[in-house]
Structure 1
């Protein structure tokens, strides 16, 4: 379900779209990103960027920048300048975005992944800004 829902969202994404993924460890954030990548026609395997912070995928319909800010929980997030990434015509997915909240753009789609069981997840989406309200409505239509 997570992969398919994310793949449908991936087909709707446009340049400069920012997706924030939040949830506990093991909730499915990287799995969700794998589905988004499928929707963007990215063929490369999507791996967690936990140790590299940012992985770049340039081969799909749009470039994808997959960021994992978990390791910045106790670090100075201000030392990491993300403005260059946000200025690129790409899709940006950020896991653990709460650790860089002061650097986030003012508009985005935030998705909370909640672990309900071994094979069950609940997705709760919140759109911030007109573009992302439209995207959320399109995604909800695609899921039905």
Structure 2
């Protein structure tokens, strides 16, 4: 896995990084016809949902980005992309994803943003990118790891 680390002084910096990544992903649509899966890891309140909000809004969503903590998933049709934002914090068993029809969420034009992905282990697709957000006093440290060729290409451009 190849990694890059970013120091983010505030929420604006976190949103800006999410926007940069979303614009890179959007710019590759013609080149890649496979789904992109991004795992978001970090403690409660670290900024996983904030990152997802910045990413989704950068792809063109105009409204509020709701946390899918209680619904497990919120979906957005954004141009050529179908974005599914999962929050698996309340998931008791990975098999629950099978019962909710996880395979219906996977397509060639799909981006999966998965918070608490370890709770969906064995059922969620393997990630192209893994993002770990940690507290550093009142700031954040973000480690972005690339686990596939596509992930590495995105990371190189970021």
Residue number among 84, 93, 96 corresponding to 2:116 in the alignment? 96
In the alignment of these two chains, the number of paired residues is 136
Asked if 1:5 corresponds to 2:5, the answer is: no
SS at match of 2:131: strand
Give, in whole Å, the separation in 2 of the partners of 1:59 and 1:86.
15
Q: Structure 1 residues 61 and 7, CA, compared in 2 at 3 Å: closer, same or farther?
A: farther
Higher relative contact order (CA 8 A, sep 6+): 2
Bigger fraction of residues in helix: 1
Contact 1:115 1:121 in 2 (8 A): yes
- 1:48-127 pair list within 5 angstroms: 48-60=67-79, 62-72=81-91, 75-81=92-98, 82-118=102-138, 120-127=139-146
Contact 1:43 1:60 in 2 (8 A): no
Q: 1:47 maps to which residue?
A: 66
Give, in whole Å, the separation in 2 of the partners of 1:107 and 1:46.
22
Structure 2, unpaired ranges of 5+: 1-12
C-alpha RMSD over aligned residues: 1.6
Structure 1, unpaired ranges of 5+: 140-144
Contact 1:109 1:132 in 2 (8 A): yes
- TM-score, normalised to structure 2, is 0.79
The structural deviation recorded for 1:115 is 1.5
| Regions of 4+ moved over 6 Å | none
The structural deviation recorded for 1:107 is 4.2
The structural deviation recorded for 1:91 is 1.2
Q: Structure 1 residues 60 and 121, CA, compared in 2 at 3 Å: closer, same or farther?
A: farther
Give, in whole Å, the separation in 1 of the partners of 2:70 and 2:96.
17
